[in-house]
Amino acid sequence: MGHACEFETSLMLHIAPQSVRREAIEPKANVSTFDWAQEDLLRPSRVSLYRSMKQITPNGVWGDATRATAAKGQQISDIVCDALSLVVRELSTE
């Protein structure tokens, strides 16, 4: 999970499918480095290693957008909205 990945593309397919250029979606092309530097949106690396977007991916995508679906975007949206709703309810009782 990273930039223009399965997670983000799934959300866009759910929220604004007309904005997704499906013909431009390519398979995962991440450029790996050291095992200890591997990270994504859900799992941090053990040690930070800065690299520019050009160094980590040839196409600007970090992750695998080919696995994205609108159904996954709906699930992600539901989970986030439920969690946010809980935060708002708890804050409103203060």
Q: Is residue 21 part of a domain?
A: yes
Number of domains observed in the structure of the chain: 1
Domain holding 33, by residue range, is: 6-92
The model carries a pTM of: 0.76
- Answer whether residue 1 is part of any domain: no
> Does a structural domain hold residue 13?
yes
Whether 35 is covered by a domain: the verdict is: yes
Owner of token pair 């159904």: 71
User: Which of 9-23, 29-43, 52-66 has the lowest average pLDDT?
Assistant: 29-43
Averaged pLDDT score across all residues of the chain: 89
CB 49 within 8 A of CB 92: no
6-15 and 70-92 helices, crossing angle to 10°: 80
**Average pLDDT score over residue span 27-47:** 80
- Nearest residue to 30 (alpha-carbon basis) of 3, 63, 8, 52: 63
Residue 64 lies in a domain: yes
What percent of the chain clears pLDDT 70, i.e. is strictly above it?
Answer: 99
12-34 tens-digit pLDDT: 999 999 999 999 998 888 888 88
